[in-house]
Structure 1
Amino acid sequence: MGGAAFFTEVAIEPLSSVIHSSLFPSRFSISHSPFFGIPRKTKKHSGITRSRISSNGGGVFIEKKEFEFKPLFDDYLKAMENVKIERDSNNRSSNSLRKKKHFKGKKEGEKNTKFADFEDFRVEKEEDSDKMIVKEKLEKGVSYRKIASKKVTDNNIIQTGVKRKGEILDMERAAFKSLENEDNVIDKPRISRVDMEERIQKLARCLNAADINMPEWKFTKMMRSAQIRFSDHSVMRIIQILGKLGNWRCVLQVIEWIQSRERFKSHKIRYIYTAALDALGKARRPVEALNLFRQMLEHMASYPDVVAYHCIAVTLGQAGHMKELFDVIDTMRSPPKKKFKTIIFEKWDPRLEPDVIIYNAVLNACVQRKKWEGAFWVLQELNQQGRQPSSTTYGLVMELMFACGKYNLVHDFFKKVQKSCIPNALTYKVVVNTLWKEGKSDAAIMAVEDMERRGIVGTAGLYYDLARCLCSAGRCQEALKQIDKICKVANKPLVVTYTGLIQACLNSGDVQNGVYVFNYMQKFCSPNLITCNIMLKGFLDQGMFEEAKLLFLKLLENGSSVYEKSDYKDRILPDIYSFNTMLDACAAEKKWDDVEFVFAQMLQYGHHFNAKRHLRIILDARSAGKKELLESAWKHLVEAERIPPATLTREIFCSRLEDGDYNAALSCLLSSPWIEVNWTRILTENGHRFQEDALVALMHEVSILVSRNENVVLEQLMRSCKEFLKPPRF
């Protein structure tokens, strides 16, 4: 290495021109500062920047106090790596210089001695600079593991040398070990939106299928196992998916879990609550939605905005909760009841005025409650605000008038709609229903044709109501032509449309057209159980018992061909409504054999005895001589471990005693909890059915049982039998 030279301030002027021309570009200027010849290095000492520029082994050192070096975190890491590399190279160079000192002459030795002295000075300065950097970083809050004390003296640093400084640097680097760890999340690739969405949907499906009564720790484990970073967006997506699945209970469970998490710091908690309100509204849970809305009023971060007001208003309006809906409107217009700290947001004012969506929700609630006065209140509010009612608002007002039976007001409002705005499909739908009630099917057809000329696309409900109107008028062929229009805009299955047309025909008493539509629909779709039950009831209402019986037997045949669970999808089986309808019809026709057959089939299909529906039929059948039906009902109740009705127990007791089987009569009595039975009246009313020998044998058996164990019911029965068998006095 070449020798280093020291230049005083006097030598600056002659050297400046040479250095300026050889080393620096023309756009840089050289300040008048002392130069020191040292190896290449960049160090920061108390805000002073030193730089070496080498040329043929020599160099200059520029000292500038105005250039302060403030490294970033990444720059600091690079600088620490460079210090370690340069320290090793300097150590090797210093050792080579010491060897040259012993083998060269006196003159060269003197130079080397001077250079060695300067090297010691440089190392000491470097150690001081390292100490300054570490101290500065500690003052800035950087935490280092197992780092040496700040009060390390210069002598200790000099004695430890490069090895000690290397250990300090290694310990400093260990403080940032997480940046080099391969398993760290920072180095892992970011999860794509598609993968994150798949994880969210998978978690939502798992929550939907899980038990709602699971403990909190199990719920937390399920949430954490999904490997999802729970942000505002992810939580909202989970709630939205659960809302689409209709699991409103799980939505509330997610909200409760978020509220109990201290680590979850949401910046958009209002949006999460709003998503939950929307999910509860779609599930038609107005009470739960109102409770959640009241929780939102307790905090400034979750205080409702206009979207939240829309959600709760629509939910309450669909449920018909008018009082609660008007309370929400008052809250919307009033300042918060709870005082919030609005230091940052000094002009924060959450008060809002109701808009069209809120007023339409009020109209929906009025339709549910049939409060036609609410329509005038809404129109008055819109007039005060200077707003023109929309066609949807007019349509809801017309629907309200139609629900209240004020058909003349429906036509009046429809004329206002035609003058002020373009009518929509809702207004035409209400007009069609009104004309249907008034029996004006031709006018209904003309109204729909006028709508189509205006270029307005009708809804499925509009064409569906028109088709039912035509079916009620006996114009079944024209009604079926509307099916094509319904199919273009309908989302419901086609069988629902045909079922509604059949119901319209039967309601008007036109069974023949109902049968025609029932047979016609089988060309395009299979009737479901509701369709069959409607036809069954329609046949019986019109006195067509045999047709109803044939349809019922066809349903039973479908049940006989079911062997696996998959067969239930393709077979229509009778339900309890079907059996009850046929039992009532058979009993009304006094066809007791058919009653016995239908009742046996009902029990075979797994349906249970209902005392309110079936007891009277069974007693009437018993009076007609059908004892088997009575025994079948009794056996069914005993096997199901159900308590038979007192009337049924009394009848089965009398029936068995009439047959002379007093043991069976007594066993039926002992298996039923009879309390306060008037045996005298029972024996008097049914005494003509009993034989005297049967009563004597029964009294004897009862006396034996009473002698063994006391029984109030048996004692009353024994006394009543003695009085009944006592010969009359003349």
Structure 2
Amino acid sequence: MYGVILANQQICISSVERNAISHCSPQTKKGFCPCGFPESRRSMPRVLSRTKARYRRINALLKEESLRKSDGRSLLAEEFEFKPSFDEYLKAMESVKSVREKRRSHNSSGLDDSLSREPEADQPNVKGEKLDGDSSREIASSIGKDGLSRDGMRKRGHKLESKEGRADGKGKREVQGDIAIKKKQILNKDSKARGTKASIVVLGSRDITKDDKLIDLRRKGGFENSKVPNKLRKDERVEKSSDDKINRRSATLMKSTRALNYKKDDEYFGEERAAFRTLDEFSDIVDKPKVSRMEMEDRIQKLAKWLNGADIDMPEWMFSKIMRSAKIKFCDYSVLRVIQILGKLGNWRRVLQVIEWLQMRERFKSNKLRHIYTAALDVLGKARRPVEALNLFHLMQNQMSTYPDLVAYRSIAVTLGQAGHMKELFDVIDTMRSPPKKKLKTMTLVKWDPQLEPDIIVYNAVLNACVKRKQWEGAFWVLQQLKQHGQHPSSITYGLVMEVMFACEKYNLVHELFRKVQRSCIPNALTYKVLVNTLWREGKTDEAVLAVQEMEKRGIVGSAALYYDLARCLCSAGRCQESLRLVEKICKVANKPLVVTYTGLIQACLEARNIESGSFIFKQMEEYCSPNLVTCNIMLKAYLDHGMFEEAKQLFSRMLDDANHIKSKSDYKFRVIPDTYTFNTILDACFEGKRWDDLQFVYQKMLQHGHHFNEKRHLRIVLDSSRARQYGLLETTWNHLVQADRLLPLPLIKERFCLMLEKDDYPAALSCLINHAASESQGFSRISWLKLFKHNAHRIRGESLVGLMHDAALHLASEDSSSVVLQTLLMSCKEFLRVK
């Protein structure tokens, strides 16, 4: 084999100029041999001596100067660099696997035999020389076994040595001495058979012989490359064969020792790399079915519903448990879907909790984190939460992966504009035009420029804020900015500008802008809506109707808001029949329920103080849809304000009857139950009309329906009715508060005390103070008692006070602990009687 290598090297050397060959200096680049061949990349400590000997022999074939290119690299290194193809690599992998399988089959018999056999008799080699038994058997087996050539044996030796290198340090130390002894024995026997002295290399040490002197002479240039002695070449081949036998024997000994250290012989050889195993041989692969998109969407829907129904104050560990129990892969798509579903449900608090949970998860690696934050901004905007949206927007500016883009700027601008936050909106525009305040790592995006210019959507958001703030100057600022940046205002922009002028009650500017829109572009439904409202405010109902007819002739489809405003305009003018005919057009383009439309028409009639038109529309409404609670409360309030108590009483009775027939949740769609506003409205009407019987009836129904006594709302009615000799509300309220174990108001205690004293029921009067006045002792001072007796002098007689003092004295004498309230009462009664 080395003869072939030397022949190839001589051919390569003869093809270049001889004067370019030089001996490599000691400063040769690490990783290359002196002739330019790259060193092996594997770690092979056992072949180190053989490699050095090979380098010395190849050096003898070179002149004092090596071939070098102009950039300092070696031509031979480039020519002999090993670059295997992918097919060759696969063939090598398959050959390694086949060798290991054959080795495994012969392991139990061949390994034990190699350890137990004695050395055989010496046998002659190819040249007639005699070798010892181990050497001859090793050479024969290496040549004939598995049909491998000498190169294949060398590759096998390298692989065995690489396995040896992977063994632990303890095994190396145990076998190191045995390997050294075996090497010495083999070399001594080979040297006797050749009759020459070979260089012995044991553990990195070397004894110099005459052959080494010849090698040194050749290294120094004593021989020409083309005139190497034949004897030297023969010695080199013999030395090479001895080196191969040493390495093969050392690998065999290491392999046998490692196999003996294991409890089972097949345990080591059964561990194969995953790269050499086929898919059928893997037993740990779990064949899980792929989750379909429909099933994944169902899981996401269930997770969103769980989160929506869970308590908002749940601990973090429980929230994480719910998120993991969904069995979904948290990627950009799944998180976006969860946020979108929660946004449709209106649960913006849970959306912020999901965002916070994602920030705490280090395992969640998102490629579209900016899109997730933008979706959360959209949810907060639809929920009318500008403060939370602005906080999230500031959080997005802290890192590059979430830094706002044009879509995020549009979202936060629309949210702030609808809320009327003018100052914050202009701050967002300044941030949009400025570089980031915080220095961000741009990574590979070198040309990343976050500075943007506001577009037409951002300017429209500014106009929305001007409508809320009623700042007409801001509208002209927007038009000026659009002109400076070369952007043409759209019909929507002109409509918003007209709406700003309408909010500021500048009706002449509205008409002027509308004429300008007609000259520049085609007006849309928004501009006509603002025009109709302006004509309605000016009292020009016919002009409003003509404007809508002109719009329809142009082929412009009116919006539901436009027809709704026109119908309300007609209702306020008393033209109810015409307004009801517009309901059909409203139903074609409306998204809101029909009951909302009818309620708005009724309210427009009532604002115009036209109760007859409102009552007519209310009756027409019952034929097409069921009135809701808002509609009934509006009509109830309208009946009472216009002195139609009987109509209000009938409507209230019908609502009570609907409450008695509620049996399932579906009944709530067709029946109306009175609420607190309903009871308070009818109570005020009964009290103002001195309808005591109706007042007592309504008050009892209110308590029966679960609406409790409200001190701020009902105390005045109860006290005034008691002073008007109507004691039913006072007794009902007293019993209700005592049963509910609620704290009794101080005026209610004094009122009942005076009532019992007026009836000469002294024990009941004292019980009001003893049982319920302990916590209100500061309200029963001497001055407060004197004021009470003075204001109720027409109700309280002197004999009643004397009887009260007698019972109070008896009660104090029977009690172990004196009552401060009763003592103050006795002193106040004596003082009042003395003054009286």
TM-score (norm. length: structure 2): 0.72
1:413 aligns with 2:513: yes
1:389 aligns with 2:489: yes
Deviations 1:220-260 (A, max 9, x none): 12212222221222212211111111111111111111111
Show the 5 A alignment for 1:549-628: 549-563=649-663, 567-628=667-728
Contact 2:413–2:458 at 8 Å: present in 1 too?
yes
Show the 5 A alignment for 1:626-641: 626-641=726-741
Pick aligned residue for 1:158 from 239, 252, 259:
252
The residue that corresponds to 2:759 in the other structure is: 659
Distance 1:584 1:277 in 2: 45
Q: CA 1:113–1:484 in structure 2 vs 1: closer, same or farther (change >3 Å)?
A: closer
Q: Which amino acid aligns with 2:468?
A: Q
Show the 5 A alignment for 1:381-530: 381-530=481-630
Contact 1:248–1:283 at 8 Å: present in 2 too?
yes
1:368 aligns with 2:468: yes
- More displaced, 704-713 or 80-89? 80-89
1:715 aligns with 2:815: no
The residue that corresponds to 1:21 in the other structure is: none
Structure 2 unpaired stretches of 5+:
5-38, 42-79, 112-127, 129-136, 177-246, 260-264
Distance 2:267 2:437 in 1: 63
The residue that corresponds to 2:143 in the other structure is: 118
Distance 2:283 2:251 in 1: 34
Q: Which amino acid aligns with 1:129?
A: K
Deviations 1:147-191 (A, max 9, x none): 998999643543548996975553233699997656646x53433
Distance 2:525 2:356 in 1: 42
The SS at the match of 2:429 is helix
Deviations 1:244-302 (A, max 9, x none): 11111111111111111111222222111111111111221111111111111111221
Pick aligned residue for 1:240 from 336, 340, 343:
340
The SS at the match of 1:687 is coil
1:276 aligns with 2:376: yes
- 1:464 deviates by 0.9
Q: Which amino acid aligns with 1:637?
A: L
**Bigger Cα Rg:** 2
- 1:524 deviates by 1.3
Contact 2:659–2:671 at 8 Å: present in 1 too?
yes
Contact 2:639–2:645 at 8 Å: present in 1 too?
yes
Pick aligned residue for 2:786 from 670, 673, 680:
680
Contact 2:160–2:251 at 8 Å: present in 1 too?
no
- 1:443 deviates by 1.1
Distance 1:147 1:406 in 2: 97
Q: Which amino acid aligns with 1:476?
A: C
Q: Which amino acid aligns with 2:834?
A: K
Structure 1 unpaired stretches of 5+:
1-5, 10-44, 48-63, 96-109
- 1:711 deviates by 3.6
- 1:352 deviates by 0.8
Distance 1:592 1:330 in 2: 65
Distance 1:556 1:395 in 2: 47
Q: Which amino acid aligns with 2:802?
A: V
1:336 aligns with 2:436: yes
Deviations 1:427-476 (A, max 9, x none): 11111111111111111111111111222111111111111111111111
The residue that corresponds to 1:68 in the other structure is: 84
- More displaced, 661-670 or 358-367? 661-670
Distance 1:668 1:429 in 2: 65
The SS at the match of 1:357 is helix
1:701 aligns with 2:717: no
Q: Which amino acid aligns with 2:607?
A: N
- 1:125 deviates by 6.1
Q: Tell which has more relative contact order, 1 or 2 (C-alpha 8 A, sep 6+).
A: 2
Contact 1:661–1:694 at 8 Å: present in 2 too?
no
Q: Which amino acid aligns with 1:312?
A: I
Contact 1:592–1:626 at 8 Å: present in 2 too?
yes
Contact 2:416–2:461 at 8 Å: present in 1 too?
yes
- More displaced, 683-692 or 524-533? 683-692
Deviations 1:571-607 (A, max 9, x none): 2111111111111111221211111111111111111
Distance 1:432 1:399 in 2: 11
Deviations 1:643-679 (A, max 9, x none): 2332222212211211111222222223032424310
Q: CA 1:376–1:725 in structure 2 vs 1: closer, same or farther (change >3 Å)?
A: same
TM-score (norm. length: structure 1): 0.82
Contact 2:94–2:276 at 8 Å: present in 1 too?
no
- 1:358 deviates by 0.9
Contact 2:369–2:402 at 8 Å: present in 1 too?
yes
Distance 2:170 2:144 in 1: 27
Show the 5 A alignment for 1:89-100: none
Show the 5 A alignment for 1:212-291: 212-291=312-391
Distance 1:433 1:147 in 2: 95
Q: Which amino acid aligns with 1:723?
A: E
Q: Which amino acid aligns with 1:529?
A: L
- More displaced, 640-649 or 561-570? 561-570
Deviations 1:102-140 (A, max 9, x none): xxxxxxxx9x9997562259498657535645888999x
Distance 2:534 2:812 in 1: 74
- 1:345 deviates by 3.0
The SS at the match of 2:372 is helix
Contact 2:574–2:605 at 8 Å: present in 1 too?
yes
Distance 1:419 1:236 in 2: 44
The SS at the match of 2:384 is coil
Distance 2:170 2:288 in 1: 29
The SS at the match of 1:171 is coil
Deviations 1:592-634 (A, max 9, x none): 1111111111111111222222222222322322111111122
Distance 2:172 2:606 in 1: 97
- More displaced, 447-456 or 636-645? 636-645
| CA RMSD after TM alignment | 3.9
